[in-house]
Amino acid sequence: MRHPATAWFGAVAAALLVWLSYDAPARAQEATRDTIVSQLDHLDAAPALDLPALKQQIQERSKSRSRNEPPPQKRPPIAPELMNLPTFNVDIAFDVDTPIVKPESYQSVGRIADAMVHSSLLPYGFLIVGHVEANGKREANVILSQRRADAIRDILVNTFKISAKRLQSIGLGEEQLLDPARPTAPINQQIQIITIAKAEDTAPAATPVVAQPAAKSEGLRKHHK
């Protein structure tokens, strides 16, 4: 006969295993480089984005105190032109209420960097979009989301050596929730990587290289005449 204490510990261990088995599937799986590439490739038409004007619009709307202001779940998207572009959403762990990226998320940012230097994505420029769930003050949420988007851009540029010319950043705060039906859900804190343009620094540079041997050949022909 088993000791009662042994039976109690066995029951607790079994319950813990059951709890872990239910918890594991809820965790988001890490996307591979190829998955990120497939989601960001094939920009059909570059949008006409005026980011300074959009940032100003976001700040002004976040300060709205109108009595007729709709609740978060009913607000229209502030940047609908971003919603139909090639996009990759990623969970990034930040310290609470700060733009400081936790060490465990650097691997996710590294995968994004690996995708950006893939041959399929080299011709493109990207917009890094920060979001915050609808908690706290709207104006502060916009500021925090911008700082977080800036932080991801800085890591991609300074740590993973992605060209700064290919990256821009903007924070939407809670003004364009990723899950409007659940305005306080964690999904609304995700970072988005959006393909927005052809990269300025990837223009073909082959023309002068090809032309140079032709000029030398012409000189040789003159010399032998």
**Model pLDDT for residues 22-79, shown as the tens digit of each residue:** 333 333 447 899 999 999 998 988 999 999 999 999 999 999 888 888 999 999 999 9
- What's the rounded Cα separation, in Å, for the pair 199 and 107? 24
Which residue, among 198, 196, 200, 199, has the nearest Cα to 83 in the 3D structure? 196
Q: How confident is the model at residue 199 (pLDDT cuts 50, 70, 90)?
A: low
**Model pLDDT for residues 91-110, shown as the tens digit of each residue:** 999 999 999 999 999 999 99
The domains located in the chain, with CATH, are 36-42+51-60+78-203 (3.30.1330.60)
Mean pLDDT of the chain: 82
- The DSSP letter of residue 103 is G
Q: How far is CA 57 from the centre of its chain?
A: 21
pLDDT exceeding 90 applies to what percent of the chain? Answer: 69
Predicted confidence at residue 123, as pLDDT, reads: 95
Sheet containing 124-130: order of strands = 87-90, 191-198, 124-130, 167-171
Q: How many CA atoms lie within 13 A of 154 on its CB side?
A: 9
- What's the rounded Cα separation, in Å, for the pair 193 and 171? 12
pLDDT exceeding 70 applies to what percent of the chain? Answer: 75
Predicted confidence at residue 200, as pLDDT, reads: 59
Q: What is the pTM of this model?
A: 0.76
